[in-house]
Amino acid sequence: MEGAKRVMAQTGRALSEVTGFIHGTTLATNALIERRGATVATICTEGFRDILDIGYERRYSQYDINLEKPDLLVPREHSLVIRERMSADGEVLIALDDGAIDGLLAQIDATGAQALAICLMHTYANPAHELRLREILAEKRPEITVSISSEVSPEAREFDRLCTTVANAYIQPLMETYLARFVAQFEAEGVTCPILMMTAGGGMCTVQTAARFPIRLVESGPAGGAILAARIAARAGLDQVLSFDVGGTTAKLCLIDQARPQTSRAFEIARAARFIKGSGMPVRIPVIEMIEIGAGGGSIAGVDRLGRLTVGPKSAGSEPGPVAFMRGGTDPTVTDSDIALGYIVPDTFAEGHIKLDPEGSKEALARLIGSKLDTDAVGAADGVSRIVDESMASAGRMHAVESGKDLGPRTMIAFGGNGPLHASRVARSAGVRRIVIPPNPGVGSAVGFLFAPVSFEIVRSRYSLLNSMDMDGVNGLFDAMIAEAMGVVAQGAGDAPTETLRTAFMRYNGQGHEIEITLPDRALTVADIAPLTAAFEEEYRKQFSRPVPGMEIEILNWAVRVATMDGAVPPVPATPELTTLKPTSTRPITCDLDGNAKEAAFVARADMKPGDHVPGPALIHEPQTTTLVSADFSAHLDAIGNLVLVQDQKGGA
């Protein structure tokens, strides 16, 4: 509130004049990571009490004798059951035992639960029992928050569905309280427009929807950066893009095709082993798919017991921070290495608000790394830089390969406090030859919020073989999902025009995982079976080299995303003829190509105008970050202020 008032005072406007309000928060993410949520109890079908303990029936690290299991938030003594049973087709096999409710209430009271996660068998096919149970609990225990799986995650796979519902229940009381206070304070200051919340899927929803499904707010911040990159791609006519977002603790990379970020339905939170798949709590929500590694400005460097130079994933954070910040940090970080190499200039860093101690960085690098590897501070810094840049590049290559895609023809869009500083080095290692750095890159995620649509996505499980699909049943399912999603979007967007995206999650009969295939935005007919088969086999070929002949194709889940339509995206005007800018000053750096000392042009981005061309090596500085133009790159400013780096130099001395 203090920040909002300060901004409005600077603009000479009142909060009552605000017509659009977008809020992104890390509260949901932090509550899950820091374990600051409610006490949760689960209610499952009798005989399925141990879904959370059984999980996937596998260890995420097969040979780790000290393996730490994921914390799934609910101890076994809080796992309760009730007699009932649905079939996978939604048929009632055993009716809900109302006579057992009083005993269940006593068990709930004994757990001291503040929130309940209800996940009964196959309620994605028929939610009647969950709805009835919630109705009774609302009457008998109105003070307890209740999340039901048929609303939070109505999909097959009981373990994932239960985990998602548990996570939603865990943070729901906290988020309901926070959002109610948030809205009340701003309404008291005169705000009358709807307050929209950023979601992990790259869209926005109303506060009311966010309070019901707070799990959809997890990881919503980085999603804003991917939305910004997609917007830039649309304006520049770039069909294949790699979004590159580097902050203080992590690097996040996202593939964007045809101006649409790659999306996913699966996500893990609070991993026990931070970057090992399977070590966290799985949730199934719409998310922009990114690969995230522990490589950022605050990542700590050191030498392990085998004499190997390591970087991350442990971070110095903002307190104590890098050694150069003089806030008590003693371990050298990536930022300390960038300072020692000359890439960060103390005079202009953070507009002078943060004083730097370059000698402190060099001393720490020499003492903790150089002395063990028989090199000096600059040699240690160069090693740290090369390792962290290669880690980012290899993560991007791995992410692309897993998606059946190639990084070579892509344009990198770099932002975040450290993205522009490392972009040319990572791009070279990843085989990317062109980089775009937007204006205000340090706050790229926040800028991306401004371009996010009001949207809502719904997924439903309905098993079907493609060749014998019940067209009427599937079309009826789509009609119901679209109507529900339209109702949610209308709360935040009114009668604004919307677009609908329909998808099916398809696989060969008997496989365990699905591939997402886009469907036509209309009712399906028998004539669609052949083109859908071809579309699935083409996508399967991209990911696994060839389709499997003679196998039946089945569909497990159907999804609908309703979103407000973007206005026409104006194209980027032609860049004026390039004119080489003569720098007024230079700074000494250690060249990232050959490790030799060189003089780099030192240019303020604010002084550049469209068409200005700066060959590398160069440092282009601005208040939030610095762009390193490596010796084999050159940079120019395009017509709308994007800094464009192209690998077109020989990079010699």
Q: Is the pLDDT of residue 395 over 50?
A: yes
Specify the pairing of strand 612-615 against strand 579-580.
parallel
The string of pLDDT tens digits covering residues 30-84 is 788 778 899 999 999 999 999 999 988 888 888 888 888 888 899 999 999 999 9
Chain-centre distance for alpha carbon 398: 17
Quote the percentage of the chain above a pLDDT of 90: 64
Instruction: Assess if residue 514 is contained within a domain.
Output: yes
With CA atoms as reference, report the closest residue to 268 among 292, 246, 296. Answer: 292
- Report the C-alpha gap between 425 and 418 in whole angstroms: 12
Give the separation between CA 181 and CA 169, rounded to whole angstroms: 19
φ, ψ dihedrals at 119, nearest 5°: -140, 95
Residue 179's region, left for phi above 0, alpha for psi from -120 to 50, else beta, is: alpha
Confirm whether 62 is domain-assigned: yes
- The per-residue pLDDT for range 289-346, each reduced to its tens digit, is 888 887 888 889 999 999 999 997 788 877 788 999 998 989 999 999 999 999 999 9
* Residues 35, 178 within the same domain: yes
Which of 85, 21, 1 minimizes the C-alpha distance to 492? 21
Q: Are residues 501 and 605 in the same domain?
A: no
43 and 82 in contact (C-beta within 8 Å)?
Answer: yes
What 3-state DSSP class applies to 244?
A: strand
Q: Which domain holds residue 154?
A: 31-183
Q: Are residues 623 and 600 in the same domain?
A: yes
Kindly state the average pLDDT of the residues 598-612.
94
Whole-number pLDDT of residue 115: 96
Q: Is residue 414 part of a domain?
A: no
Are 35 and 150 contained in the same domain?
yes
CB burial of 361-396 (b: ≥16 within 10 Å; e: otherwise) equals: bbbbbbebbbeeeebbbbbbbbbbbbbbbbbbbebb
Q: What is the total count of domains within the chain?
A: 3
Query: What is the CA 455 to chain-centroid distance, rounded?
Result: 16
SS3 assignment, position 390:
helix
Residue type (1 letter), 195: I
Q: How confident is the model at residue 275 (pLDDT cuts 50, 70, 90)?
A: low
Q: Are residues 468 and 557 in the same domain?
A: yes
Helix axes of 128-140 and 101-111: crossing angle, nearest 10 degrees: 60
Among residues 539, 564, 589, which one ends one of the domains?
A: 564
Do 101 and 136 meet the contact criterion of CB atoms below 8 Å apart? yes
CA pair distance 228, 456, nearest whole angstrom: 19
Strands 40-45 vs 115-119: parallel, antiparallel or unpaired: parallel
- Asked, for residue 385, whether it belongs to a domain, the answer is no
Share of the chain above pLDDT 70, in %: 99
DSSP string, 458-518: EEEEEEEEGGG--HHHHHHHHHHHHHHHHHHHHHHHTT--EEEEEEEEEEETT-SS-EEEE
Whether 283 is covered by a domain: the verdict is no
| Closest C-alpha to 104, from 43, 145, 146, 165 | 43
Rounded mean pLDDT of 546-552?
90
> What does R_g of the chain's alpha carbons equal in angstroms?
27
CATH code assigned at 73: 3.40.50
CATH number for the domain including 489?
3.30.1490
C-alpha 328/C-alpha 330 separation (Å) is: 6
Q: Give the pLDDT of residue 254.
A: 93
Stretch 590-616: mean pLDDT, rounded? 93
Task: For residues 586 and 491, state if they share a domain.
Answer: no
Q: Which CA distances in Å does 604 have to 233, 339, 625, 647? A: 25, 18, 11, 21
Average pLDDT over residues 469-497: 91
> Is residue 130 domain-shared with residue 166, that is, in the same domain?
yes
Please determine, for residue 458, whether its predicted confidence score (pLDDT) is greater than 60: yes
For residues 277-313, one letter each, b for 16 or more C-beta atoms within 10 angstroms of the residue's C-beta and e for the rest, the string is ebbbbbbbbbbbbbbbbbbbbbbbbbbeeeeebbbbb
**How far from chain centre, in Å, is Cα 307?**
34
What Cα–Cα distance (Å) separates residue 46 from each residue in 42, 97, 162? 12, 11, 14
Residue 146 lies in a domain: yes
Give the separation between CA 354 and CA 519, rounded to whole angstroms. 52
Whether 603 and 573 have beta carbons less than 8 Å apart is answered as no
- Whether residue 601 is contained in a domain is answered as yes
Q: Any residues with CB less than 8 A from the CB of 315 and at least 6 apart, and which?
A: 248, 249, 294, 296, 298, 299, 300, 333
How many residues comprise the chain? 653
> Does residue 616 share a domain with residue 557?
no
Q: Give the span between the Cα atoms of 90 and 125, in whole angstroms.
A: 5
Cα(523)–Cα(48) distance, integer angstroms: 38
Which residues lie closer than 8 Å to 561 by C-beta, 6 or more apart?
A: 201, 203, 286, 455, 456, 457, 485, 500, 501, 503
Contact indicator for 42, 252 with CB cutoff of 8 Å = no
User: What are the structure tokens assigned to 162, written together?
Assistant: 């239960």
pLDDT tens digits, 105-153: 999 999 999 999 999 999 999 999 999 999 999 999 999 999 999 999 9
Joined tokens for residue 160: 């994932």
Confidence tier at 274 by pLDDT (50, 70, 90)? low
Selection from 42, 51, 132, 44 nearest residue 85 by Cα: 44
Residue with tokens 């290669």: 390
Report the pLDDT value the prediction gives residue 566, as an integer from 0 to 100. Answer: 76
Q: What is the pLDDT of residue 212?
A: 93
Q: Do you find a cis peptide bond into 570, omega within 30 degrees of 0? A: no
CB-CB neighbours of 487 under 10 Å: 11
* CA neighbor of 206 nearest in space, from 223, 189, 190, 183: 183
Domain boundary among 164, 183, 202: 183
Q: Is 625 in the same domain as 536?
A: no
Structure tokens at 421: 């500083």
Q: Compute the distance between CA of residue 158 and CA of residue 153 in angstroms, rounded to an integer.
A: 10
Residues 595, 550 share a domain: no
Q: Do 585 and 551 reside in the same domain of the chain?
A: no
Coil, strand or helix at 355: coil
Q: 615 and 485, same structural domain? A: no
Whether residue 651 is predicted with pLDDT greater than 70 in this model: the reply is no
The pLDDT tens digits of the residues spanning 181-193 come to 999 999 999 999 8
Instruction: Indicate the residue type of 185.
Output: Q
Prediction pTM value: 0.85
Asked which of 538, 564, 590 is the last residue of a domain, the reply is 564
Q: Is 350's pLDDT higher than 60? A: yes
Furthest-apart CA pair in the chain: how many Å?
Answer: 84
- Is the per-residue pLDDT at 596 higher than 70? yes
pLDDT > 70? residue 652: no
pLDDT at 653: 46
Angle at 271 between CA 270 and CA 276, to 5 degrees: 155
Helices (H), 141-157: 149-152
Q: Is residue 401 part of a domain?
A: no
Average pLDDT along the chain: 91
